[in-house]
Copies of this chain bind each other. A is one copy, B any other.
Amino acid sequence: MATNEELRITLIGTGTIGLSFAAFHLSSAIPCQLTIYDTRPNLHDYVHEQLPRLFADEAIPSDIAKIRIATSLPHAVADAHVVQESGPENLDVKKELWKEVEKSAPNDALLWSSTSGIPASQQAQAMQDKTRLLIVHPYNPPQLMPLLELVPSPQTSETVIARTRDFWQSRGRVPIHIKQETTGFVANRLAFALLREAIHLVNQGVVSVSELDQIVESSMGPRWAVAGPFKSYHAGGGPAGLEGFFKNIGGTVQACWDDAGKVNVGDGWEEDVFKQAKETYGTVNVQERDRITRRVLQVLKEEKEEKEQTTN
C-alpha cells in the first residue's frame, strides 16, 4: 500500500453512511485522496451540499475541495488503494457491483462493504477472486463512532483482514475481527438483545419508553463506555472475578434469563411503543447527540492515550 503518496480511497454510495465515512477521512490526521462514486443525478452538487453539513461544530476541512466526483464506476476504482461500498442493502446490486469493481480496480486494492447484514460470502458470489472481499461494518455514524466490525467470509484472505485492521488502527479506530459470518454480526446482536427486553418491559407496563432510556443513560451506558460487560462483572466479582460474580449472583442472572421477554416483530407491542417514542422525542436533535457523544469519546480517548504513554 502507498507509503510516500496519499492513499486513494474510493467511496461508493452517498447515503448517510457513505457521506459519514467521507467526513471521517476528511477529518483524519492521515490525509488521503477521496473519490466518491454514485449513480445519483447531479452527484457533484449533492455531495458539496450535503457533506459540509456533517461538520456542524467544526471547521470544514479544506480537503473537501480535493474530492474527486466520479460518475463512471471503472474510472472511480481504477487507481484506488481502498474501495468501500455503502450502497443499498440489496444482494443482487452488491453482487453485480463487486463483479464490476474487480474488473477495474488494482489487484491489491482493499474491497470493503459497509453492509449491516449481507455477508461477504454472498456478496462475493460473482467475483473471480473471493478472497478479496471483507465486511467493514461501522456503528453509525462512522464519522464519530470508533467501532468497525471486520467480518470476513470463509474465503477472505488473512492478509486482507490484517491490512484492513492496520488501516483503521493507524487512524485511531477500533477494528474488531468477527470470526464467523453471524447473523447481524456482533454489535447489533448485543444491542438488539437488550432492545428486546426493553420492549418487553415497556409492553408489560413496568416502565415507560422515556424511563427505560433514562435507566440506561444513568447506569450501563456510562459504565459500558468505560468498561465493557465482562470487564464490569469481572470487577463486580471482587478478587474472584467473573467466577465470583456468578457464584454470588448467578441465581439472579439465571432468574432474569428465565423470566426474559420473548417479544417478536409484529406481535402487537408496536403501536404503543412507537407512539411513546414519538411523543417523548419528536424529532431527535442528532447534532446535539453527536456533539455530546464527541465530548464523551474525547474523554475516553484522552484516558486511553494517557494510559498507553504510562505503560510504554
Contact = CB atoms under 8 A, between A and B. Distances in A.
Interface of A: 116-117, 139-140, 145-147, 149, 174, 176-180, 182-184, 186-198, 201-202, 204-207, 209-231, 233-236, 239, 241-243, 246, 249-257, 259-260, 264-266, 270, 273-274, 276-278, 280-281, 283-284, 286, 289, 292-293, 295-297, 299-300, 303
Contact of A252 (B116, B179, B211, B297): B116
Q: Count copies of this chain in the complex.
A: 2
The interface centre, meaning the residue of A116, A149, A296 with most chain B CB atoms within 10 A of its CB, is A296
B176 A281 contact: no
A309 B284 CA distance: 19
Contact of A242 (B182, B217, B243, B273): B273
Contacts of A252: 116-117, 183-184, 188
5 contacts: A149-B215, A186-B215, A188-B256, A213-B227, A215-B228
A228 B242 contact: no
A216 B234 contact: no
A252 B230 CA distance: 26
Contacts of A187: 215-216, 219-220
Consensus secondary structure, chain A interface: helix
Given A207-B186, A292-B303, A223 B145 contact: yes
A280 to B, nearest CB: 8
**Which residue, of A146, A216, A217, A274, has the highest number of chain B Cβ atoms within 10 A?**
A216
B211 A176 contact: yes
Contacts of A299: 292, 295-296, 299
Nearest to A260: B193
Contact of A216 (B192, B228, B255): B228
Contacts of A284: 227, 231, 234-235
Contacts of A286: 235
Contact of A186 (B116, B206, B273): B206
A18 to B, nearest CB: 16
A178 B206 contact: yes
A192 B206 CA distance: 17
Contact of A277 (B116, B183, B184, B234): B234
